[in-house]
Structure 1
């Protein structure tokens, strides 16, 4: 599945597990800016939406609920991402609300979150800048788990992933058989395993259900796998 399908599936899951104000906030709050960030920045970096939570509820210093645009929680790491539009955050027409917002961001830092503010305008005009900054920000946290990530893959799986990284995003089992000198049945077995691990998506041939190609799903940590 591509981004649109995964995004819809991801939202449906979070709506299913929420009720009341949490559900209402998700339906109202996850709008154009948040979706644009997920599509133009998060998806190109990770290729999945695992551990990413939309309109995530936290309590502020007064014990009142506050909803962060997006929270990423892979294990003990916690990042709070806020999409900042120009009008409400620069003109400061509501000074009380602006002060509260700054205090909440400080409190999030106290609560263990790394707070990242993303300019809405950059998502529209230069998402590649935001991608570059996010990669630099996240890679130290991801590299801490690099050995664990590498151990999840066999030598043959790493060879397949290395070939896929050199391809144009699509790879054929017949090319893997030829390049790696492995039995076709073995390739089919390992491609199925890599699909289950989220590294490939099968691409049916046009007009049939036969799988002739696989779409490679890039990850920020792929260079650490091999």
Structure 2
């Protein structure tokens, strides 16, 4: 099933589950920018809209209703909110009060266990590969196509971030130089990330010299 048909069924399904203002918000709020995010960024990575909720209702510290452009709620309990921000509506036309509220809302949701991700409309439209890279980087440490969240130590997270930042296959030597640890520890961390399906060895031969972040595959995260 291609994106067009999947998107149509996606909106139809969520619309059918809602009534009143929640349904109206979906029909009014899910417009060009949000659809383009799914088409240019989300779909090329996952080829699925499973566990994604458009115009998802949340509440702030005063129990005031707000709507996120998207909420990603997989079965393992991870919660990510995603916003598609246009310059005109989210910056140029925002007064000081609205600006402060937007920051406080994100901080409140973060405190409540949400991971908040923001993507500019210009990047979604003109540089979707940047959005894809950042989205994949944000989700990778938490999800790996398994029913439970993968447990990562602080050093493993540092190695994974380094691999993303470099953007090329890395060597244990790169880890030792950048993160200031010994060679044996660097290789142990890289092998551990491979065992958790977050990285994979590169090249041929008996001894692995390079490692890279494992690419996402259709129907799974990692």
TM-score by length of 2: 0.65
Q: Which has the higher helix share?
A: 1
Tell me the matched-pair count.
Answer: 155
C-alpha spacing 1:95/1:52, structure 2 compared with 1 (3 Å): same
- SS of 2:109's equivalent? helix
Question: Is 1:128 equivalent to 2:129 in the alignment?
Answer: yes
Q: In structure 1, what is the Cα distance between the partners aligned to 2:83 and 2:48? A: 19
Question: Is 1:52 equivalent to 2:52 in the alignment?
Answer: yes
Instruction: Determine the structure 1 residue equivalent to 2:66.
Output: 66
Instruction: Determine the structure 2 residue equivalent to 1:22.
Output: 22
Q: Is the 8 A contact 1:52 1:70 kept in 2?
A: yes
Q: In structure 2, what is the Cα distance between the partners aligned to 1:89 and 1:147? A: 35
- Residue 58 (structure 1) shift: 0.6
Q: Is the 8 A contact 1:142 1:221 kept in 2?
A: no
Residues 1-226 of structure 1 correspond to what in structure 2 (within 5 A)? 1-75=1-75, 76-143=77-144, 145=146, 218-219=217-218, 221=220
Q: Is the 8 A contact 1:68 1:80 kept in 2?
A: yes
- Residue 25 (structure 1) shift: 0.3
Spell out, residue by residue over 1:97-125, the C-alpha distance to the aligned partner (whole angstroms, 9 max, x if none): 22222111111111110000101100111
Q: Is the 8 A contact 1:146 1:221 kept in 2?
A: no
Q: Is the 8 A contact 1:135 1:220 kept in 2?
A: no
Structure showing greater radius of gyration is 1
Q: In structure 2, what is the Cα distance between the partners aligned to 1:146 and 1:22? A: 29
Q: Is the 8 A contact 1:52 1:71 kept in 2?
A: yes
Q: In structure 2, what is the Cα distance between the partners aligned to 1:60 and 1:146? A: 29
C-alpha spacing 1:10/1:31, structure 2 compared with 1 (3 Å): same
Q: Is the 8 A contact 1:51 1:73 kept in 2?
A: yes
| RMSD (CA atoms) | 2.2
Spell out, residue by residue over 1:172-193, the C-alpha distance to the aligned partner (whole angstroms, 9 max, x if none): xxxxxxxxxxxxxxxxxxxxxx
- SS of 1:219's equivalent? coil
Q: In structure 1, what is the Cα distance between the partners aligned to 2:50 and 2:116? A: 19
Q: Which stretches in structure 2 are left out of the alignment for 5+ residues? A: 150-215
Q: In structure 2, what is the Cα distance between the partners aligned to 1:69 and 1:24? A: 14
TM-score by length of 1: 0.64
Q: Is the 8 A contact 2:145 2:220 kept in 1?
A: no
- Residue 19 (structure 1) shift: 0.3
